[in-house]
A and B are shown apart, each in its own frame.
Chain A
Amino acid sequence: MDYNLFSGLVIFYLIGAASSIIFNKKDRLSSYAAFLNAAVGSVFGILFSISIISGESFNFEIQGTSFLNFGFFVDRLSAFFILVISIATLAVSIYSTGYVKEYFGKKNIGYLGFLYNIFILSMIMVVSANNAVMFLIVWEMMSLISYFLVIYEHEKPEVRKAGFIYIVMTHIGTGFILLSFLILAGASGSFSFESFSGAAIPPLLKDLVFLFALIGFGAKAGIVPLHIWLPYAHPAAPSNVSALMSGVMIKTAIYMLIRVFFDFLGSGVMWWGFLVLALGAISALAGIMYAVVESDIKRMLAFSSIENMGIILLGLGASMIFFAAGNPGLSAIAAVASLYHLLNHSVFKGLLFMGAGSIIFSTHTKNLEKLGGLIRKMPVSSVLFFTGVLSISALPPFSGFVSEWMTLQSLLLGFSLNDTFVMIAFSISAAVLALTGALAALCFLKTFGIGFLALPRSQQAEHAKEVNSPMLLGMGLFAVLSILFGVLPVFIIPFLDRIVQTFTGDGSFSYGYFGTITLSGGNSMSTPALLILILMLALLPLMILLLYNGKMRSPVYETWGCGQPVSTARNEYTGTAFSKPVQMWLGSFYKPGREITTTYSVSPFFRESIRFGSRTEQIFERYLYAPAVKHVLEGSRKVKLIQTGSIHAYLAYIFVTLVILFMFVILGGR
């Protein structure tokens, strides 16, 4: 049964990839072939993963040599990630059938469809690979294909630059992953993941494996300061691909981090957890701080992905600390919080990226300052986007609230360990998480308020039209899910608890009537009850409004501008102004710069125009990467000395190397 489902999944993605190439000349047919097959494949994926999580692990070997042994191993943890990938694929594929109409006649749809299917397949293989060699191959495949997807609109120079930064960062990451796997393989004598988990490794090497894996997978996950590719690559890719990359691809790194930390390295050391916790806190804060001042919607969403990866890592770090302290029960609670947020983030971030795609589809701009008034032009899209905004702002009873509440609670449970350092670290993390949450609310309030409300700020926004129904359907699926994940944690948490049991302990959650969740500390929360209360209590003012007059229609008049004559779009508040207080407050982080250029006619007393520009600094790029790149270039220049251009010199190099190797063999042989 599992076997059939798994092969079904693989086959449909392959058919999708092949058929989109076959129908390459016919745009419409090709897009349907690619995305509908992917959607069917994802349904298989959902069924497969649910069957694994509720049943037995899945193991499938393909015969090979002793070194190169292809095979799949899917336990509950892998199955959870396949589930996340498949849910995202289902919604995004439906959305894509509508979205790619944008490219009809302009770009090669078959190429996009092919890459799209192979990309999803490679992600599924990444989370189901059973040995290191195969893992590295599919990991590299995932990276390369996502690179090709990023540079899909390669005629734009900024897209090529984004692709370059992405491929460099991802390969630095792969290098570190390779190192950590080599150490593991050296200790265990085999490349299979099964042997890794039991390997006896000396503590120092364990620390090295941990650090290399953290850097390697951290580069993919977008942990600060390895995040710099994210804000370039995600906006550059087509929006449906960004939804997958931001929603799912970066999560595969979390999968491997869990695999390495809990499975391969066994019960870890305390400071690993603290390092992950600290990186999580820094990523969350830095990510959202950049997102707040950003006015490019997709770039803002990419920064917000960094923030959410930070929150996921906060939960993971807490879980590692509990695990190292010998408390698997609490470790499970923190891990559930982390995975819950991961699930939620893949849903609402996918939704928001698709929403951003819809905005681009109908206005052809992703600059927030040029939007406005879309709530009247695109009523359904705006409601769906609004659901995503409410979820990501962690407002009750939507999905982000549940996972943030659980993360905070698991941080609070740290006080039961009775370790001073844990208490201080956890309370600082909680304060950081609270600040992050508040800034996220500000950021997404700004995005929705400036982008969708009030009057249109440009011609494009003025003429926006509602997007087509497949796009609405794809977004609607995610919107429904983000409400369900918020309201029904009572069904999700036992499910996640089953998954984390494979690597931590039992979370011992208890569930009461009204979908109440009670944690082991006795703290309880029930989002269904909150939802019902809010809805019922909202009737009260509604009744007051109706009873007192009987009519809802109110006299309509122009906006009160405190005495200003007319209100037009030009005197609306802008997004930049909205986030200006934060920018001024945290000026030392943003290092804001401003320039004012004035042009004169005749004399300095007659100004023709005044142009004001302001920008913020990317401190990590400026102070970390720019010097590093400079040193690398300098080093390369020095090494260039050996590149003489003479063929004799090159042959001499080969000869000298050969002689040295001979000497090595002779001396080593003794």
Chain B
Amino acid sequence: MLTQIMLAIFQILIIIALAPLLSGIIKKVKAFFQIRKGPSIFQPYYDIAKLLRKDSVVSENVSWIFYASPLVSFAAILTAGLLIPIFISDIPFGFAGDLIAVVYLFALARFFTALASLDAGSSFGGMGGSREMFVASLVEPAMMLSIFAVAVYAGSTNLGSISQTVSNLGIDAMSPSYLLAFVAFFIIAIAETGRIPVDNPATHLELTMIHEAMILEYSGKQLAIVELAAMMKLLLVFSLLASIFFPWGMDAAGIPAALGIYLIKIAILGVAMAVVETSTAKWRLFRLPELMSISLMLSFLALISFIIVKGG
């Protein structure tokens, strides 16, 4: 029991500690592709440290929702983090929720952030919240289908057992349905974490931003928590991809080696994301249904090809 709790605490610390690093890596790789030097990969740590030292200025119109929202989103995302296997597949809180619960926990975090965006009464906040929820409604059906594709393939929705099943299958795991589900999931990951072409995390033009518009009213310490939560979500979505599609090397080599392998996997995914981000432009909001319908159809094809190969 005690070791379980220690493991959970260790996992939380790993997530919090690594989240800014991943953002730093992505920024650095993007800078490399744009032939810039770019900030150090530790810059996000400095940013958060700086924000934590500053006062939070709060709008006069806000209610308790505005104060509660960063805490709830942060906690919901971190709770999701406890359900995702990172360095051991037999995670201590695996019983508490499965892949579907992870999705709903992300939804909880998003719900509170979007609610806070309406609290201050600024029109830009509302714009961001509205778009965020719109993108979420586009993502959700594709997400559920790819969850189904993964779940019927691995025979479970509990992430721990998905990881174990796929690890045991080894190279045999590479089936058409898995491949299609991965592509679909990657598109979903882009939308879910608000990266280009869905949303530009670096923009500060009011008319185009989604996530940044929602958190426009936050400053200082509260902003630090919101930013950290967003970084954690990015890391966790990647961890989700890693634990479902490349769970190899999680249990075999002991925790330090598993952590190292995890770092490598996350870094590779981060580089892939940076490549996608530099090679595409941000899409117009109303072209996003096209992107998400591709993802939806790929996950549907993943299910169909599962059915075909199994020979229903």
- The answer to A–B direct touch (Cβ < 8 A) is yes
Q: Which residues of A line the B interface, CB within 8 A?
A: 372-373, 375-376, 390, 393-396, 401, 405, 408-409, 412, 415, 418-420, 423-424, 427, 430-435, 437-439, 441-442, 445-446, 448-450, 453-455, 512, 514, 516, 521-526, 529-530, 533-538, 540-542, 544-545, 548-549, 552, 554-562, 567, 569, 571-574, 577-582, 584-585
Q: Which residues of B line the A interface, CB within 8 A?
A: 12, 52-53, 55-61, 63-65, 67, 70-72, 74-76, 78-79, 82, 93, 95-98, 100-101, 104-105, 107-108, 111, 114-115, 118-127, 129-131, 133-134, 136-145, 148, 151-152, 155-158, 161, 206, 216-217, 220-222, 224-225, 285-286, 289, 296, 300, 303-304, 307, 310, 312
Q: How far is the CB of A602 from chain B (nearest CB, A)?
A: 33
How many angstroms between the C-alpha atoms of A430 and B296 in the bound complex?
12
Contact of B52 among A514, A548, A556 (CB under 8 A): A548
Q: Which of B60, B118, B129, B151 has the most chain A CB within a 10 Å cutoff?
A: B118
Determine the chain B residues whose CB is within 8 A of the CB of A523 once the complex forms: 98, 156-158
Q: How far is the CB of A540 from chain B (nearest CB, A)?
A: 7
Q: How far is the CB of A537 from chain B (nearest CB, A)?
A: 4
Determine the chain B residues whose CB is within 8 A of the CB of A516 once the complex forms: 95-96
How many angstroms between the C-alpha atoms of A409 and B216 in the bound complex?
38
At the interface, is chain B mostly helix, strand, loop or mixed?
helix
Determine the chain A residues whose CB is within 8 A of the CB of B152 once the complex forms: 412, 415, 423
Residue of A nearest to B104 (CB): A396
How many angstroms between the C-alpha atoms of A536 and B93 in the bound complex?
14
How many angstroms between the C-alpha atoms of A315 and B108 in the bound complex?
24
Residue of B nearest to A433 (CB): B144
Determine the chain B residues whose CB is within 8 A of the CB of A431 once the complex forms: 141-142, 144-145, 296, 300
Q: Tell me whether B126 and A540 are in contact (CB under 8 A).
A: no
Q: Tell me whether A573 and B125 are in contact (CB under 8 A).
A: yes
Residue of A nearest to B135 (CB): A581
Cross-chain pairs A/B with CB under 8 angstroms, 24 sampled? A395-B107, A401-B104, A420-B307, A423-B307, A431-B142, A431-B300, A434-B140, A437-B140, A442-B133, A448-B115, A449-B114, A449-B119, A530-B96, A536-B75, A538-B74, A538-B75, A545-B221, A552-B67, A557-B57, A560-B59, A560-B217, A562-B124, A577-B127, A585-B286
Residue of B nearest to A440 (CB): B137
How many angstroms between the C-alpha atoms of A455 and B64 in the bound complex?
14
Determine the chain A residues whose CB is within 8 A of the CB of B118 once the complex forms: 445, 449-450, 453-454, 573
Determine the chain A residues whose CB is within 8 A of the CB of B101 once the complex forms: 396, 405, 525, 530
Q: Tell me whether A449 and B115 are in contact (CB under 8 A).
A: yes
Determine the chain A residues whose CB is within 8 A of the CB of B217 once the complex forms: 559-560
Residue of A nearest to B304 (CB): A424
Q: How far is the CB of A433 from chain B (nearest CB, A)?
A: 7
Contact of A557 among B60, B71, B142, B148 (CB under 8 A): B60
How many angstroms between the C-alpha atoms of A444 and B152 in the bound complex?
32
How many angstroms between the C-alpha atoms of A409 and B60 in the bound complex?
45
Q: Tell me whether A580 and B216 are in contact (CB under 8 A).
A: no
Determine the chain A residues whose CB is within 8 A of the CB of B300 once the complex forms: 427, 431
Q: Tell me whether A540 and B145 are in contact (CB under 8 A).
A: no
Q: Tell me whether B82 and A453 are in contact (CB under 8 A).
A: no
Q: Tell me whether B105 and A396 are in contact (CB under 8 A).
A: yes
Determine the chain A residues whose CB is within 8 A of the CB of B100 once the complex forms: 405, 408-409, 525
Determine the chain A residues whose CB is within 8 A of the CB of B120 once the complex forms: 454, 559-560
Determine the chain A residues whose CB is within 8 A of the CB of B74 once the complex forms: 537-538, 540-541
Q: Known contacts A441-B136, A442-B134, A526-B95: does B225 contact A584 (CB below 8 Å)?
A: no
